[in-house]
A and B are shown apart, each in its own frame.
Chain A
């Protein structure tokens, strides 16, 4: 890297990749959010799921505490619900990638369509689950 920098080159040639300046088509947006949701799942949803599994099987009172998380709206229950929705987002987008791996929906039109379909399904799921929590 250090030897490369000393070479003379036109100023407009990008040396570093500015990730904020890249404009993404919708299928690339799905791909990058699949990665981001994967990171979120590993660092947040997975430990959270373990925490819930541990307390839901520990004793009856702890089970009722976990049960109340899913049935009473609070900041923590919103956070838990959101985390599992992010997990489902990862599953949905991942399922789309798996289909493309076996050459289903690889064309530009279908790929775009399935991207919007995944976003639509997830938004619907988000709305339904969140409204169930708050009613």
Chain B
């Protein structure tokens, strides 16, 4: 994928999630003390269900690009080498394992979210 596409994806998802977070926060702050009935009717409306689905999908994209950048910046032979020279040989393996773990966790989070919201 082109670098500029990744650049715009991170910014677009950031803006969406920022707006979504402020929306949830404003509901909680304007309905103090929060009641069970109000909270459930808020989370059962389709606006909440759709926007939460999009927010978590955007968060997954945002997190993937961010964590992948962090991995290629810090889990390299050059940066791991200062901890221990033997780690140099395993840098690619460590970065691969890290990538697999966060991708798996990301998909787990999104599946759980969809299950919680739409059931």
Chain A residues with CB under 8 Å of chain B are: 1, 15-19, 35, 38-39, 41-43, 46-47, 50, 53-54, 56-57, 60, 63-64, 67, 87, 91, 94-95, 98, 101
A64 — which chain B residues lie within 8 A by C-beta? 36
Give the docked Cα–Cα distance between A18 and B78 (Å): 9
A50 — which chain B residues lie within 8 A by C-beta? 109, 112-113, 116
With beta carbons under 8 angstroms apart, the residue of B63, B88, B113 that contacts A42 is B63
* Cβ of B79 under 8 Å from chain A: yes
Return the 3 tightest CB-CB contacts between A and B, nearest first.
Answer: A16-B81, A16-B82, A18-B82
The number of residues on chain B lying at the interface, defined by a beta carbon within 8 Å of a beta carbon of chain A, is 30
Within the complex, the shortest CB–CB distance from B118 to chain A, in Å, comes to: 12
CB-based contact B63/A38 at 8 Å: yes
Within the complex, the shortest CB–CB distance from B76 to chain A, in Å, comes to: 9
CB-based contact B18/A94 at 8 Å: yes
| 14 A-B pairs in the complex with CB atoms less than 8 angstroms apart | A1-B88, A16-B81, A19-B82, A39-B70, A42-B67, A42-B102, A43-B105, A46-B63, A46-B109, A50-B116, A57-B43, A57-B44, A63-B39, A98-B14
B40 — which chain A residues lie within 8 A by C-beta? 57, 63
Within the complex, the shortest CB–CB distance from A43 to chain B, in Å, comes to: 7
With beta carbons under 8 angstroms apart, the residue of A19, A47, A94 that contacts B14 is A94
* Cβ of B77 under 8 Å from chain A: yes
Within the complex, the shortest CB–CB distance from B17 to chain A, in Å, comes to: 8
With beta carbons under 8 angstroms apart, the residue of A16, A46, A47 that contacts B79 is A16
Give the docked Cα–Cα distance between A19 and B105 (Å): 27
CB-based contact A1/B77 at 8 Å: yes
* Cβ of B74 under 8 Å from chain A: yes
CB-based contact A17/B82 at 8 Å: yes
Give the docked Cα–Cα distance between A63 and B78 (Å): 49
CB-based contact B109/A47 at 8 Å: yes
Give the docked Cα–Cα distance between A64 and B36 (Å): 8
Within the complex, the shortest CB–CB distance from A80 to chain B, in Å, comes to: 14
Further contacts, 9 of them, CB under 8 A, given A46-B59, A63-B39: A1-B88, A15-B78, A18-B82, A39-B67, A46-B63, A53-B116, A56-B39, A98-B15, A101-B11
B81 — which chain A residues lie within 8 A by C-beta? 15-16
CB-based contact A91/B116 at 8 Å: no
With beta carbons under 8 angstroms apart, the residue of B34, B36, B78, B113 that contacts A60 is B36
CB-based contact A57/B66 at 8 Å: no
